[in-house]
Each structure stands twice: as structure tokens, then as C-alpha cells.
């Protein structure tokens, strides 16, 4: 997957069932309260927090990914992943987004525990889209740089201006950015 290492590491932790949810901490006798803080209705297991919780459902219902037949939070995460990959409409980009949204839910859960505000489902999806696009664009520009001859910047001659410009398009987030430097 073309995603940051932190997202890959997070996915690996879920697959190995070692994500430190409240249920896991409780199982290790480190805390005694295992109730999900987002809904207060069930134990905070990985499956509940990232898939079955009302907060997670709000997010998954709002994304344009085909999630039909993926099962529920009680299923092993690797099974959910395989079903997603086998889905005929899935693509590597969709898988990257799927995993990054998972990571985004977990990130906001940790942010809230550190006193930061609860993000809406829409914001979590938007942040995931941005991260996937930004990482992809950054990798592309690195690849392009390695294939291109290095040119050294030189100052413009007298009474002239030199304009350097670069831009990027974040297709999924439907945003674009541009930077311009003008030097004499």
C-alpha cells in the first residue's frame, strides 16, 4: 500500500490483534473499565470501535466505497480486508483509503482521550482522503526527481525577475495547491 508507515503499522497491529483498545488493556489487567467512550454502549474492542460503533457506522455510511458483505466487527480484521480486496469494485487506491479511514478513527479516538475535540465523520474521512492524496503526490514527486537531471538554481540577470512555480492536485479531496516564488 502506498500509505505512510504509521498507517501500515496500525493495520499490522489490527491484524495481529495487538491494538491497545480498552478491552485489550482490561484483558491485561491494566484498567478495569472497558466501555467504549464514543457510545457508552459496548466494550471497546477493535471491531466495535472501528466498525460496529455508531460513530464508526456514521463514517462508513458516508464514504463512497463498496462495503457490502464485509461482515461485522466480530469478524477477524484480516477476513474483512480480504473480502474488501476481493470485491470486484475495489482498487489499490480504495484499499489505501479504507485503511487510512480506519487509522483516522483510531487517531481521533486517541486525540479525544488527550483532550482534543471529537471530529465529525466527515472530517475524519476528509483527513484520510487528504493524507492518501498528499502521500501519493509526495512519492510521485520523489520518483520524478530521481529520474530527472538536477538543475541548480541561478539568480536572474540584472533588471529581470525569476519566477519559480510548483503545484499539486489532490484528486480525491478535490483540492489543489500552488506555490510561487518571485526573485530579483
- The interface region with Zn ion, picked from 35-43, 67-75, 77-85, 119-127 by CB under 5 A, is 35-43
Helices marked H in 87-120: 92-113
- Please report how many Cα atoms fall inside a 13 Å half-sphere around the Cα of residue 83, on the Cβ side: 14
Among residues 1, 35, 39, 65, the one that binds Zn ion under rule CB under 5 A: 39
When binding is defined by CB under 5 A, the residue of 3, 7, 19, 38 that contacts Zn ion is 38
Contact call for residue 36 and Zn ion (CB under 5 A): yes
Q: Least distance in Å: CB of 42 to Zn ion?
A: 6
Strands (E), the chain: 162-170, 175-183
Cβ proximity to Zn ion: between 121 and 136 the closer is 121
Indicate the helix (H) or strand (E) that contains 42.
Answer: none
Contacts of 136 (CB under 8 A, 6+ apart): 2
Residue 119's contacts (CB-CB under 8 Å, 6 or more residues apart) are: 108, 111, 127
CB 129 → Zn ion: shortest distance, Å? 24
Contact flags string 134-163 toward Zn ion, x per CB under 5 A: ------------------------------
Amino acid at each position: 500500500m502506498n500509505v505512510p508507515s504509521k498507517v501500515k503499522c496500525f493495520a499490522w497491529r489490527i491484524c495481529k490483534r495487538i491494538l491497545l483498545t480498552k478491552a485489550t488493556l482490561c484483558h491485561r489487567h491494566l484498567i478495569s473499565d472497558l466501555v467504549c467512550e464514543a457510545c457508552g454502549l459496548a466494550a471497546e474492542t477493535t471491531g466495535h470501535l472501528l466498525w460496529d460503533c455508531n460513530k464508526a457506522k456514521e463514517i462508513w455510511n458516508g464514504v463512497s466505497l463498496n462495503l457490502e458483505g464485509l461482515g461485522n466487527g466480530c469478524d477477524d480484521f484480516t477476513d474483512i480486508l480480504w473480502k474488501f480486496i476481493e470485491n470486484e469494485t475495489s482498487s489499490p487506491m480504495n484499499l489505501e483509503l479504507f485503511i487510512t479511514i480506519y487509522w483516522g478513527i483510531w487517531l481521533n479516538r486517541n486525540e479525544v482521550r488527550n483532550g482534543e475535540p471529537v471530529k465529525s465523520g466527515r472530517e475524519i474521512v476528509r483527513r484520510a482522503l487528504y493524507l492518501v492524496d498528499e502521500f501519493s503526490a509526495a512519492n510521485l514527486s520523489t520518483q520524478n526527481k530521481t529520474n530527472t537531471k538536477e538543475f541548480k538554481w541561478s539568480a536572474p540577470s540584472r533588471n529581470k525577475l525569476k519566477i519559480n512555480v510548483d503545484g499539486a492536485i489532490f484528486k480525491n479531496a478535490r483540492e489543489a495547491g500552488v506555490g510561487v516564488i518571485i526573485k530579483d
